[in-house]
Structure 1
Amino acid sequence: MDWILFAIFLLATFGAGATGAMFPPGDWYDRLEKPPWTPPNWVFPVVWTSLYLALAFVGARLAPMAGSEYAMAFWAMQIAFNALWTPVFFGLRKMRAAFVVMLLLWVAVAGLVASAWPLDRLSALLMLPYLLWVTIAGALNASVLRRNPSFA
């Protein structure tokens, strides 16, 4: 493992995650009607920290591999949409637009898994929890939107 490359990817992931600190959920989100299966607030930083560490590891593994161009393009795509979702949902309070961002994030993560599989199965497998989490987050986004149509 190239630790400098890992550090670069780690900075990218935590840069994307910093939008959570810049655009916290706050009272607005607390007042929204949410489904009963909404994870408790403490789950989000724990899950995202774990996922960001896995993303950095996967990026550092895949980047130097021959033939990783598509995997790295999907890696870049997912981190861009990952960083965009929080400002759109919590900053602009545009849940419908955030759901579109979430769909694009899901496509990017699925593309990362698919393009990593032939190169490095460990990397692809490490991204499956991320795909699951984005699926859950997308369902939560859709459910909150449906329950609070005035904030579309």
Structure 2
Amino acid sequence: MNKLKYIFLFLVINFGTLWVGSLLMGVGPRDDWYVSLNKAPWTPPGWVFGAAWTLIMVCFSIYLGYLFNKSNTKETQITYLIQLVLNISWNFIFFNQKLVILGVLVLFLLIVSLLYFFFNLSNDIKKARLLLLPYIIWLCIATSLNLYILIHN
């Protein structure tokens, strides 16, 4: 499969993953539980989350297109699958089940999986791995927001 086909495939899978995750979170940020939480002063307005995830998934899909075109190995597939499961599960764990500690753990594991992509799976596509930075940065922000909620509630 060529790079463009992979990019299209991952756009479909990644945005599908966001959709499934949104279904699993129930009412999400509109939930009385979430609304009543003491949130970090740096919590962005709601629209930023949609814009950020759109940018992240476009960049991540392009990165994956390059990666899978060069190195479609079991290691790459398993790492992607782990990231996919973690990404979907956070919505359910945090918003639906209200398990903040477990949500932080999932975010930490997501960061580890993205760093694994960055440092271990990107040797042949060094420039393309920069497309992972929006995802990594956003996960660090999300982790800080979740940690604030954990500590201050």
| TM-score class normalised by the smaller sequence | 0.7 to 0.9
Alignment partner, residue 88 of structure 2: 83
Residue number among 99, 116, 122 corresponding to 1:111 in the alignment: 116
Selected match of 1:56 from 30, 47, 61? 61
Q: Against the structure 1 CA distance between its residues 98 and 66, is the aligned structure 2 distance closer, same or farther, given a 3 Å change threshold?
A: closer
Give the deviation of 1:69 after TM superposition: 4.8
User: What SS class does the counterpart of residue 35 from structure 1 fall into?
Assistant: coil
Higher RCO structure, 1 or 2 (CA under 8 Å, sep 6+): 2
Counterpart Cα distance in 1 of 2:33 and 2:133: 31
Letter aligned with residue 25 of structure 1: P
Please identify runs of 4+ aligned residues in structure 1 that moved more than 4 A: none
State the 1:75 CA deviation: 2.6
Cα deviation, residue 72, structure 1: 4.1
Equivalent residue letter for 1:50: L
- What is the identity, as a one-letter code, of the residue corresponding to 2:132? M
Q: CA deviation at 1:49?
A: 0.6
Larger helix share, 1 or 2: 2
Structure 1-normalised TM-score?
A: 0.88
Equivalent residues in 2 for 1:13-92, closer than 5 Å: 13-18=14-19, 19-23=21-25, 24-26=28-30, 27-66=32-71, 69-92=74-97
1:7 to 2:2 alignment:
no
Question: Which amino acid counterpart does residue 22 of structure 2 have in structure 1?
Answer: G
Q: Deviations over 1:62-82 (max 9, x none)?
A: 112147554443333222211
Q: Distance in 1 between matches of 2:109 and 2:24?
A: 22
Where structure 2 has 5 or more consecutive residues not aligned to the other structure, the ranges are none
Q: 1:70 to 1:86 in 2, by over 3 A?
A: same
Larger displacement relative to structure 2 (1-10 or 32-41): 1-10
Q: Which amino acid aligns with 1:37?
A: W
Aligned residues: 148
SS in 2 for 1:63: helix
**Quick one: distance in 2 between partners of 1:108 and 1:119?**
18
C-alpha separation in 1, matches of 2:72 and 2:98? 40
Identity of counterpart residues, as a percentage? 28
The verdict on how the C-alpha distance between 1:91 and 1:67 changes in structure 2, with shifts beyond 3 A counting, is closer
Of 19-28 and 82-91, deviating more is: 19-28
Superposition TM-score, scaled by structure 2 size: 0.87
